[in-house]
Amino acid sequence: MAVFEPTSIPGVVIVVAKSIEDDRGLLMETMKRSEFARAGIRADFVQENHTLSKAGTLRGLHYQRPPRAQGKLVRVVRGEVFDVAVDLRPESPTFRRWVGVALSAENRRSIYIPPECAHGFCVVSSEAEVVYKMTEEYSPEHEVGIRWDDPAIGIAWPVSAPALSPRDRNWPPLLPV
């Protein structure tokens, strides 16, 4: 049975998957609907993405606006990343706060990020492969982002000069309310 560890942001949950290891290798249940539902995560995943990124690459901060807001289940299959969720739900007591967690192939942790939270990650190993499931399909007209180094959020990234895509370099800061 997986272990579900709440974070300081409601709905953002670290998932430690159950794995069985023997001399042949391992079997790991990375997502089981009934266990997720018992933990309060009712997610119907409809798309899965796989990224390969080099050391120092930062992807994010991305999210999609309603009605196409995405919940994400993120895990690393090779390497290590510093993964971040930012709460963008105005009604939330943790609105504009962030939480970061190390995800790696070695620690076999995942993170569930609910809809209306921004997501990003930074590669801290030589390379990292990240797999993430989403509750909504990618919709370019609903996609938005926040500047990775927005001082109003103050994320303590493990790099000061990350490799960024032009799109991620040009996202605006989160506007004050």
Q: Is 79 helix (H, G, I), strand (E, B) or coil?
A: coil
pLDDT in tens, 55-90: 999 999 999 999 999 999 999 999 999 999 999 999
**Annotated catalytic residue within 50, 62, 63, 138:** 62
pLDDT in tens, 102-140: 999 999 999 999 999 999 999 999 999 999 999 999 999
CA–CA distance, 104 with 107 (Å, rounded to integer): 5
The domain of 107 spans: 3-169
Q: Which residues of 39-65 are buried (b: 16+ CB within 10 A; e: fewer)?
A: bebebebeeeeeeebebbbbbbbbbbe
Q: Is residue 176 part of a domain?
A: no
Q: Is residue 175 part of a domain?
A: no
Instruction: Provide the pLDDT confidence category of residue 33 given band limits of 50, 70 and 90.
Output: very high
Is the confidence at residue 177, as pLDDT, over 60?
no
List the CATH number of the domain containing 147.
2.60.120.10
Query: Total domain count for the chain?
Result: 1
Mean pLDDT of 153-167: 96
Bridge partner list, 37 = none
**Annotated catalytic residue within 63, 119, 132, 142:** 132
Is residue 132 annotated as part of the catalytic site, yes or no?
yes
pLDDT reported for residue 175: 73
8 A C-beta contact, residue 120 and residue 62? yes
